[in-house]
Amino acid sequence: MEAHIDAAKPVPKRRWTRLLVTRRALLRIGVLLAVLVLLVLGLGWYGTAMPGRSYRGALPALTAEQKTLATELEGHVRVLAGEIGARSMFWPTKQAQSAKYLRDQLRGAGYAEVHETFAERGGRTPNLEVVLTGTKPGLACVVIGAHYDAYQGTPGADDNASGCAGVLEIARMMAGSPGERTVRFVLFTNEEPPTFQTSNMGSLVYAKDLQQRGINVHAMLSLESIGYYRTEAGSQKYPLAGLGQVYPDTGDFIAFVGDLGSRSLVRRAIGTFREHAKFPSEGVALPGDIAGVGWSDHWAFWQTGVEAIMVTGTAPFRNPNYHKETDTPETLDYGRMSRVVEGLAEVVRDLAKE
């Protein structure tokens, strides 16, 4: 039965009051919902809007230089994840063998002096650092690094022999050609559990050491799991369901990831990468406590107030071999990896400018 108001009869004052209150409440709810929607859209734009465009379409044939780089990258990965294999605080001999290999490679790339810093616990293998002194050494420096330990007993080809190989080759490419800013190439120990995000995480030890010595850092890039790619639909996952509406569902891109405080670095790095590399790339700045956003050595530099980002193939959100015995050298795509590393060398060169 429909209710109606008889126009001939005045509506009681109390009823008018109830109607007005109800309308005001609905209006307030509507305004609040609109504000929330605008905030969500604004935050989404703030975190995902990136300069330039990601490369799309078939990849061009590898250049002669990229083929040579791919061979070098594969060689590093096959030593670390193949010949040496499991390397961590639980396998100290293999971890020490990895450190020796990396130290020798850095020296062979043209860096005579390799600096070392140690964590108090969690093994005695050091962080390894070489320095390309800038033409204006008083400027804040750039740090590019990767961890060389692997998850408990696994070969760790993608995680993270791939990142180490990238750092080695970028250091080699830049040797003898400094920019205005000093660049520090670092290979970190103790990134994996149980030292992950603890005081004995190698990158945190290193970041605090820089801070204590009064060495200012302009930007930090962490190379994390950069060798695994897939081209089939549905091969890429995300920590938040909404991200899948914004980003591709194929795992064929390299990602630039930072917290909200590092948004400007994410934008600068991916913008430079897109200028120089014909390779798919995506960038995002999100709250640091979202799963995956802080899962590498860049997290350590956030603790000392430094803008720091992770360059990654997204590891567990793409690679089914993550933290497994199947994370072997044969599973990586060294051609794609060479394109990424070549582009990242340009990113580091750009960051080294005043």
Structure confidence at residue 29 (pLDDT): 61
* Domains, the chain, with CATH or none: 50-351 (3.40.630.10)
Better pLDDT: 222 or 45: 222
Two tokens, residue 102: 């990396």
- Average pLDDT for 5-22: 60
Q: What is the largest CA-CA distance in the chain?
A: 99
pLDDT band at residue 11 using 50, 70 and 90 as cut-offs = low
pLDDT beyond 80 at 234: yes
**Phi, psi torsion values for 88, nearest 5 degrees:** -175, -175
Q: Which residues pair with 146 in a beta bridge?
A: 187
Structure confidence at residue 3 (pLDDT): 45
pLDDT band at residue 12 using 50, 70 and 90 as cut-offs = low
Burial class (CB in 10 A: 0-12, 13-18, 19+), 183: buried
**Residues whose CB falls within 8 Å of the CB of residue 59, separated by 6 or more in sequence, listed in order:** 278, 279, 336, 339
- Span 160-190, pLDDT tens digits: 999 999 999 999 999 999 999 999 999 999 9
Structure confidence at residue 225 (pLDDT): 98
- Span 244-293, pLDDT tens digits: 999 999 999 999 999 999 999 999 999 999 999 999 999 999 999 999 99
Q: What's the mean per-residue pLDDT of the chain?
A: 91
Structure confidence at residue 15 (pLDDT): 66
Structure confidence at residue 47 (pLDDT): 83
- Average pLDDT for 11-28: 64
- Span 35-61, pLDDT tens digits: 444 344 454 557 899 999 999 999 999
Two tokens, residue 193: 């559990």
Q: Report the amino acid identity of residue 317.
A: F
Distances (CA, A) of 111 to 72, 80, 171: 18, 20, 9
What H or E segment, with its residue span, contains residue 265? helix 263-276
Could you identify the residue written with the tokens 């549905």?
234
Task: Please state whether beta strands 115-117 and 127-132 pair in parallel, antiparallel, or not at all (unpaired).
Answer: antiparallel
